[in-house]
Structure 1
């Protein structure tokens, strides 16, 4: 189990380092009902990652993700496809990066986030966690890798739980800081938001390339073994 968890850390870190969801959480915490809205956003995020990971575990187990102690060939193909997708997203991110990082623009929906109802905040968190191309790809790859490891079901669930928790630290840390420090945390959170917005393109490009190359390597390794 320890070896499988170690392999999952890279995927979890890739989900954790998600500038736009982190910025969204900080903006939500700055709204009049920030405490409750932040809890709703965190709950939706955890549910989204957990549900997608659990569905992948079930489907992968039914499809025979592990055979003779080795991952099935289709797991290698899946990792190749997701790896290529991440590399293409990295290329797109790099080509459309702002020439001047200080002029980087945030999505227009963020300007209206203070008017979001709890239902909209929940929907936003589900989209950013389970429907985001990077996070969805990494979660599917992670869950497929867990299923193909051959460890018992209870250990698979434990590893997936750790993956979700580590992958959620990016949004949970600002929430915890706000819950503990309250209004005193606003300046700190604001500086985090500005830093994430400024370096979003560079961070995402590096993540896409590094994780894409890792998945390509994993996929090739499975197919030729």
Structure 2
């Protein structure tokens, strides 16, 4: 087990609670990312939605798992260096927190003004007619090849590096992160599978709401998580 920054072994139950405290805000930030939800809403409205929707969800989960594993390996290797590694992890959290705050500020600066309509990414239109294979690829890409997700998952794993978890507990923590992060995407897929075409009006409402409020949602989530990550990094450096 890894020692905590204050130099004593953390009780098992306390370690598990600390892991949950780390995972919950990060998972919430990923789950509330508007564009991946808009993407699955569009796929859920496509002709082959009953197959393409679950494939998108599978790709999304696989992408998050791959990203979490990569981040865990990197932070584990750095943390195993010793005291120097712990300092590097603290500075990594400071840098990631600063980048998340910068991204939040950028969203605020570039948000639509007044009655200006928000710009809709052109690639979203391609999702209205995707097949199962393309849906799987889109899900994995939007989960793993997203700079915000990379920063958030790295921040989570850098913080988990301080928690003395067994290998099994680390795997469970990763699965919990993926499961919570996938909540809204899974909800859309399940709703479409159960309700069929009757879910279309609700899905359209969700799509329009997220498109209109994308910048505000992302700015708020990144700002809050950025402050938490930055604060933990500074606490480690100064403590």
**Is the TM value for this pair above 0.5?**
yes
Superposed CA offset, 1:198-224 (max 9, x none): 111111111121111111101101111
Q: Equivalent residue for 2:159? A: 145
In structure 1, C-alpha distance between the alignment counterparts of 2:148 and 2:196, rounded to whole Å: 31
Superposition TM-score, scaled by structure 1 size: 0.92
Superposed CA offset, 1:181-209 (max 9, x none): 11111111111111111111111111121
Q: Equivalent residue for 2:211? A: 197
Which residue among 122, 132, 143 is the counterpart of 1:108?
122
* 2:145 is aligned with 1:131: yes
Superposed CA offset, 1:136-166 (max 9, x none): 1111111222233121111111111101100
Q: How big is the alpha-carbon RMSD for the aligned residues of Structure 1 and Structure 2? A: 1.8
Where does 1:65-104 land on structure 2 (aligned, <5 Å)?
72-100=86-114, 103-104=117-118
In structure 2, C-alpha distance between the alignment counterparts of 1:97 and 1:186, rounded to whole Å: 28
Which residue among 70, 74, 91 is the counterpart of 1:55?
70
Offset of 1:107 from its aligned partner? 0.4
In structure 2, C-alpha distance between the alignment counterparts of 1:14 and 1:170, rounded to whole Å: 12
Q: For structure 1, list consecutive stretches of 5 or more residues without a partner in the other structure.
A: none
Superposition TM-score, scaled by structure 2 size: 0.87
Which residue among 58, 61, 66 is the counterpart of 1:46?
61
Q: For structure 2, list consecutive stretches of 5 or more residues without a partner in the other structure.
A: 1-15
In structure 1, C-alpha distance between the alignment counterparts of 2:42 and 2:19, rounded to whole Å: 35
Superposed CA offset, 1:34-72 (max 9, x none): 11111111111101111111122223223325969xx81
Q: Equivalent residue for 1:163? A: 177
- Contact 2:52-2:130 within 8 A present in 1 as well: no
Which residue among 100, 104, 122 is the counterpart of 2:136?
122
Q: Equivalent residue for 1:184? A: 198
Superposed CA offset, 1:12-37 (max 9, x none): 10000011110110000100001111
